[in-house]
Amino acid sequence: MKNASIKDVAKEAGVSKATVSYVLNDTPHQSISEETAARVREAVKKLDYVPNLNARSLSSRKTKLIGVVIPQTEPGREFLFSNPFYGDLLSSAEYAARRNGYHLLLSGSESNQSYMSIARNRGVDGIIIVGAYPTKWLDELHELSIPVVLVDTYVKDPVYHTIGINDRLGGRMATEYLIKNGHRSIAFVCGQIEDQGVVQKRYQGYRDALEGAGIKVKEEHIYSGNISFEYAQAVAQEMLKRGKKETAAFVSADILGMGLIKGLRRLNLRVPRDLSIVGFDDVYLAKMCDPSLTTVHQDIAAKGTTAVQFILDALSGEPGKQEKILPIELVERESVQKI
């Protein structure tokens, strides 16, 4: 069966093709009455008309696509969906984009891959980059005439829009909570500690709390590897090899906390009886694991929604750079015991 065309819709509604276009694109037009618009919408429904997005993008020079790039910071890892943080963020971004007539185009990037090549090859109207480090690839994006939003990226730039949280404060809050509950031998479990990265900021917060309490920061309490469930399970074994002197751990992401709980259980150790844990992010699964995870809450969904809104604002002519720092708070659950 042949798909209905805009010409078919116009004939069914008894209007011109231009009128159909105005109604479908919600374009203000003084001569179009609500009764006429209703006829057009009824014809669209009756004929099951689907707009040709390719044709629309050619005429408007807009693709209605927003690119989301997540840099591959851990070689060999397919981590885009192994960490529920990204699922929470992308879900909210996709919904916000769809409600405004846009679609997301998701791409991972290798450490040596230019963000500009991704943007140009995909022909997106705007680009959101999550968790990047300061690199020449970010500087290249100045040559593009599309809005760029950086999420969880510590880059000082006069043009790029930015969204994030105070990661250093969050790291301090998590560690101070453990200290308040009597713990003085506290591990830090994390991914790679890269300069000007989110993990580094949370590590600095960990150090701030220990030093503020007069506790020496010890290298043997630092477990730095991959942000993955599997790595955290291996950390449990490594703790035993090192003599497990820690009574608690601050993990830089909830996925690490859940992996550590699983790894300890395999060794017949229990959380919080044998090790108290505080996570970071408050992903949906944090409240579902056993025990439920005490963690630093951030509004992950708001990051995705705001990133899309910044793109839309810029495309509609909103002048100037936009910045937003979202609040954080500690959520107490079952993974910490007082000693």
pLDDT given at position 317: 84
Say whether 167-299 and 6-51 share the same fold: no
Three-class secondary structure of residue 72 per DSSP: coil
pLDDT given at position 313: 94
Please list the pLDDT of the chain residue by residue as tens digits (339 residues). 567 888 889 999 999 888 887 787 666 666 788 889 899 989 988 888 876 554 544 444 578 999 998 876 555 555 556 789 999 999 999 999 999 999 998 877 655 456 666 666 667 899 999 988 877 667 777 777 889 999 999 988 888 999 999 999 999 999 999 999 999 999 999 999 998 899 999 999 999 999 999 999 999 999 999 999 999 999 999 999 988 889 999 999 999 999 999 999 999 999 999 999 999 999 999 999 999 999 999 999 999 999 999 999 999 888 889 999 999 999 999 999 999
Beta-bridge mates of residue 251: 189
Q: Could you tell me the CATH superfamily of domain 167-299? A: Response regulator (3.40.50.2300)
Three-class secondary structure of residue 294 per DSSP: strand
pLDDT given at position 7: 86
Closest CA to 195 of 144, 249, 250, 132: 132
- Would you kindly state where each structural domain of the chain is located, as residue ranges? 6-51, 65-165+300-325, 167-299
Q: In terms of DSSP H, where are the helices of the chain?
A: 6-13, 17-24, 34-47, 53-60, 84-99, 115-122, 136-140, 167-180, 198-212, 229-241, 254-266, 300-315
Q: Does domain 65-165+300-325 have CATH number 3.40.50.2300?
A: yes
pLDDT given at position 57: 47
- Exposed / middle / buried, residue 206 (Cβ in 10 Å: 0-12, 13-18, 19+): buried
Q: Could you tell me the CATH superfamily of domain 6-51? A: lambda repressor-like DNA-binding domains (1.10.260.40)
Closest CA to 282 of 249, 225, 328: 328
Residue type, 329: E
Beta-bridge mates of residue 248: 186, 276
Q: Is pTM, for the whole model, over 0.85?
A: no
- Phi, then psi, of 182 in degrees rounded to 5: 95, 0
* Separation between Cα atoms, residue 216 and residue 196, nearest integer Å: 23
